[in-house]
């Protein structure tokens, strides 16, 4: 599997930024609109799978090592549980939303009543969405990447 034709590669190169930005948008707006860490991560991983199909698994494996993906996945899980335990330190209980009302990042309280959605709200929930998104991106892409690489190695024999 050494990649597909030049047309496919060009179309992939043109459309990949939009897919990746959309996936990151779904992750970043997880506390306001439908979607969140898992859904945005699945969209992002789908875009990466498109690159894998277009350019071939050997080329992709050279660029992104499977070891690094495993590390990113563990980092996502670690960040999630770290943020949860920081609630115990800064607040009172596990998973405490200690950032709300602190006026720092994601810290403002939205105005009462239904108005326009404000991205800079919700405390630790967007940060946890980013952690889950990182884990889902790395995990789902690692599955497909290792499977494609193993099959291409098997075909060489």
Partner 1 sequence: MIDELIHFVIPLLIIIAAIVAILLRDLLASVIALAAMSLLLSLEFYILQAPDVAIAEAGVGACLTTAILVLAIKGTKRKEDEV
Q: Please give the residue ranges that form the binding site for partner 1 (CB under 8 A).
A: 1, 26, 34-36, 38-39, 42-43, 45-46, 49, 53, 140, 143-144, 147-148, 150-151, 154
The beta-carbon contacts of 7-15 under 8 Å, at least 24 apart in sequence, are: 8/54, 9/54, 9/55, 12/50, 12/51, 12/54, 12/55, 15/50
CA atoms of 23 and 19, how far apart (whole Å): 6
Shortest spacing between CB 53 and partner 1, in angstroms:
7
Shortest spacing between CB 47 and partner 1, in angstroms:
9
Compare residues 112 and 155 and give the one whose CB is closer to partner 1.
155
Residue 101's CB is within 10 A of a number of other CB atoms, namely 11
Host H or E run for residue 27: helix 6-28
Shortest spacing between CB 40 and partner 1, in angstroms:
8
Compare residues 25 and 95 and give the one whose CB is closer to partner 1.
25
Q: For residue 67, how far is the Cα from the chain centroid? A: 17
Shortest spacing between CB 21 and partner 1, in angstroms:
15
Compare residues 37 and 87 and give the one whose CB is closer to partner 1.
37
Compare residues 87 and 139 and give the one whose CB is closer to partner 1.
139
């Amino acid at each position: 599997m050494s990649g597909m034709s030049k047309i496919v590669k060009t179309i992939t190169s043109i459309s990949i930024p939009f897919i990746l930005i959309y996936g990151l948008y779904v992750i970043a707006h997880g506390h306001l609109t439908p979607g969140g860490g898992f859904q945005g991560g699945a969209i992002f991983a789908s875009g990466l799978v498109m690159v894998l199909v277009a350019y071939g698994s050997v080329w992709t494996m050279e660029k992104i090592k499977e070891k690094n993906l495993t590390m990113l996945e563990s980092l996502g899980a670690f960040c999630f549980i770290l943020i949860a335990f920081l609630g115990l330190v800064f607040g009172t209980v596990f998973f405490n939303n200690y950032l709300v009302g602190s006026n720092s990042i994601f810290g403002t309280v939205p105005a009462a009543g239904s108005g326009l959605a404000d991205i800079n709200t919700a405390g630790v929930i967007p940060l946890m969405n980013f952690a889950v998104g990182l884990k889902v991106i790395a995990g789902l892409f690692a599955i497909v990447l290792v499977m494609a690489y193993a099959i291409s190695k098997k075909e060489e024999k």
